[in-house]
Structure 1
Amino acid sequence: MDTDKWCDAQVGHYIGIDASASGVNYARELWENRRKPFTAEFIELDPSDDGFEAQVQEKGIQADMVCCMQHLQSCFENEERAKKLLNNVSSLPKPGGYFFGITPDSSTIWTKYQKNVEAAHNKGLKTVPNSIRSENYTITFEVEEEKYELKLYTKYT
């Protein structure tokens, strides 16, 4: 929940939702310690949980724009959880409102994976790495490393 991004956007009211208490508290602290050009509320709630839609309706939350800047990809660990997330967040925007979800794109994932394989090769490792990481996410591939040894090719000139 990065409240700084919204300071210049002239929002009237900010609703920050995070699955973790620490995330909510951190965002609240940041907002309280900075200029406050808009009102804000912070809610601990997992957008991929079954009870999300009911809690949102109970609180009367609707928005012109819903934006998920981080951790959206963690809700895609299985199809059921992804469908639940998409159903839940679709209940947040007002009619005619917008949802923006930001996740790593497949080109970025593939490029990072290729760099990991190349780095493993350069280090002399005999197995293919099964994950990529960034500051915001870890993607682990289901690879049985023993079956996929890194083939080392020597170039003769």
Structure 2
Amino acid sequence: MEKVGEKQGEEDGAAPAGGGSELGQKSGTKRVPERGDDEEETPPTKKPVTDHSVKVASHYNKLQEVGLEVRSQSRIFYMRNFNNWVKSVLIGEMLERVRGAGSRNVSVLDLGCGKGGDLLKWRRGGINRLVCADIAAVSVEQCQSRYEDMKRKSYNNEKIFSAQFITADCSTEVLSEKLDDPQLMFDICSCQFVYHYSFESEQKADMMLRNACERLKPGGFFIGTTPDAYELVKRLEASDSLTFGNEIFKVSFQSKGSYPLFGCQYHFNLEGVVDVPEFLVYFPVLEHMAKRYNMRLVLKQRFSEFCEEKVKKEQHRNLMMKMMALELFPCEVGGRQASESTEEYSHAKERCCRAGLRQVGTLSRSEWEAASIYLVFVFQKMA
């Protein structure tokens, strides 16, 4: 799907079926404010091969950067923040594990960096070296500009990580050949809402995996977020057509009943953000392929499961409030909900009544149906 949390929003309890992730709040709690002639002729019956990477790059290059005020008016504002919170928790916890294992100088590869939506996360994590790579040249330029701006505005005594920015199709090009430091090894490779684009073919999926894993240190992590193929197929099979979705997103397949391991294309459209072809990632195949690079799967969770587990910790709940990852229902006097439809919040209303709460933190039903397509994964390089 899209690059949620960057192309779907920058950084500044399991949900009920069809509902939203919720945090109950007692009366008085308020919201915290805060990507030639010699050529043979093509037979008439043969269709030209489409490189979908070109479409993806073109789409993201055309996306305009907007400010917080514009983003806050988006129908998917809270979903964007929620997905960004998931990334923040994942990245923060993995940095803790790396440091807990004894790493002092932490190096990170952001594979599919987009416009740099995770730069602040790496800054907060106190890393030493960052390599950002993406297929969209305009996005990489904006990412680098954002980094330079961050350095200029940093405090005098704050040491900002060094960085390299690479424009490359990481599903067809060898990234290690483009590194300024050919000996550089990484503690973490982060691939957020990107890997599914590479499942157009086995060759592309393997190259993306090679770029993610071959330069990892022993014990290093390959982390990311990607759509859950099982969930997408389940929703497609339950649909009376080749399309499913709601008022904010739509997924369209070309057929159903048979799903190839590679090149199983669908089209994803998310309001104002994404309108591109994507490919199902059959996770058992990804897990098998990862073994070629001495990687083992240590975590795979749906967003709902991940959220239910992480909100048990106070620090993650506080971050959720700070990032406005959920909206309050009912909203404060004079405010408005993300959707005017009362049905979009029936689950939140039921929760308030059942638990005797004045307000709950939630996502609208449509936003949760979109967000709950995704899963979190973590692979580790075996020693």
Same topology, TM > 0.5: yes
Aligned equivalents of 2:240, 2:279: Cα separation in 1: 12
Runs of 4+ in 1 over 6 A off after TM superposition: none
Give the deviation of 1:31 after TM superposition.
1.7
Cα root mean square deviation, aligned: 3.1
After TM superposition, the score normalised by the length of structure 2 is 0.30
| Cα separation, 2, equivalents of 1:43 and 1:77 | 22
The correspondence of residues 53-132 of structure 1 with structure 2, limited to 5 A, is 53-56=176-179, 59-110=182-233, 113=236, 117=241, 130=254, 131-132=266-267
Q: Match of 1:7?
A: 123
Structure-2 residue corresponding to 1:139: 278
Deviations 1:33-52 (A, max 9, x none): 23553222212222222443
Please list the CA deviations of residues 87-140 of structure 1 after superposition, one character each: whole Å capped at 9, or x if unmatched. 2322121222111132111244246645794977xxxxxxx8534414455437
5+ residue gaps in structure 2?
Answer: 1-112, 155-159, 245-251, 255-265, 281-383
Q: State TM-score, norm by structure 1.
A: 0.66
State the AA in 1 paired with 2:137.
A
Task: Give the counterpart letter for 1:69 in structure 2.
Answer: Q
Q: Where does structure 1 lack aligned partners over 5 or more consecutive residues?
A: 121-127, 142-157
The superposition leaves residues 11-50 of structure 1 with CA deviations (integer Å, 9 ceiling, x where unpaired) of: 1222111122212101112222235532222122222224
- Establish whether residue 23 from structure 1 lines up as the match of residue 23 from structure 2: no
Q: Distance in 1 between matches of 2:209 and 2:278?
A: 20
Structure with greater contact order relative to length (CA < 8 Å, sep ≥ 6): 2
Q: Does the residue aligned with 1:33 lie in a helix, a strand or coil?
A: helix
> Percent same amino acid at aligned positions?
22
Question: Does 2:137 correspond to 1:33?
Answer: no
Aligned residues: 134
